[in-house]
Amino acid sequence: MPDLPECPLLPDPLEHPLLLDPPEHPLLADPLEHPLLPDSPEHPQLPDPPECPLLPNPSKCQLLPDPPERPLDSDCCGGGCIPCVMDIYREELALWEADCQRLLAGTIYDGEVLKQQELMLHPSKYTHFPVQDIKPEAVDCVRIRCGLARHQTLGLSLGQHIIVRSQVSGSPVTRQYTPISPLDAKGYFELLIKIYPGGRMSQRVAAWKVGHELEARGPAGQLAYVRNKFRRVLMLCAGTGVAPMCQVAQSVLADADDETFLRLVYAGRSYHHLIAKSEIQEWQRFWNFSCLYILSQEPVIPTYKYKRGEEIYRGHIDKDIILREMAGGDIDKTLVLICGPRSFNKDMVTYLTDMGVSETNIHQY
């Protein structure tokens, strides 16, 4: 890096209020005390904070980015998810450290160069995708459409999702989302994101506007699905857990040579809380797709009309419903997909294993 007087990008350190000696800098902690990765008794596999010197000579550095926000211990369900939120945090930490080292080495970030690059997913680098449209969906969700280069697909395979990062107002926060748009959709992709009151990511998403640039990397996840290997696929989901089921349904139904029967059992609070209804109604035109809505807070006498042919059950997905859904079919020829809150997933796995469903035939998102 050239000497400071010859560098037009860095002001005189004595005149710049952010380039003070490290002990006096309010934004950068002492490297020996910076909790990059706090100890966690529930996650002993997480490494100790690195001893990398992140506070070099102030005359040769610029303000370093905030480290990624560490997930709460309660964010990990302990179910062996691939990837786990803790795995993603380790990846984010490594990316942050690499960015810091790049800055310390004198490599200047050029946002314009990034914008000019072709929009493609990368497993370890974030790509900026322009938000083209934001629409409310159901009661508490938003449907977000992001743009891609013309004739370009996002590049996901069946069972894969993306990792979205938000760096607004504080440390970066990441979440995993499965696009509900078809895998072969060109020029765009769509996400359905639930807005939780007080949610760390939700409140940032709620502030997004058209023109915002969504940061995403990937792909992540996998699903071992082979055309016609199973006689049917039973999809058990709750809330926004329907998103990965949308991906499966679209892919199977778009394949004229795939005769696998699809059964979606979708739990929600009420009919108004269901998302992706327009897609589901379209799929019900296919001979090998059917859907059962299970609504826990649906009034006995609704104030609106259901669509013709919709199956509605008031209550919760319990063992009796799973028994009924599995009855009359060959258990060994049924693939079960599960996606929902932690307690939901745990209950579904318990019901299925009690019925003798093999673990190899159960996939949790």
Asked if 266 and 360 touch (Cβ cutoff 8 Å), the reply is no
Ligand-binding annotation for 175, yes or no, is: yes
Ligand-binding annotation for 177, yes or no, is: yes
H or E element in which residue 97 lies:
helix 85-104
Cβ neighbours, 10 Å, residue 136: 10
Ligand-binding annotation for 37, yes or no, is: no
The distance from CA 110 to its chain's CA centroid, rounded to whole angstroms, is: 27
Ligand-binding annotation for 201, yes or no, is: yes
Position of tokens 């199956």?
311
Q: Where are the beta strands (DSSP E) in 13-89?
A: none
Between CA 127 and CA 108 the distance in angstroms is 17
Distances (CA, A) of 19 to 53, 63, 106, 117: 16, 8, 15, 32
| CA-wise closest residue to 273 among 235, 234, 241 | 241
Peptide bond into 219 cis (omega under 30): yes
Asked if 136 and 121 touch (Cβ cutoff 8 Å), the reply is no
Please state the residue numbers annotated as binding site for FAD.
Answer: 175, 177, 192, 194, 201-202
Please state the residue numbers annotated as binding site.
Answer: 175, 177, 192, 194, 201-202
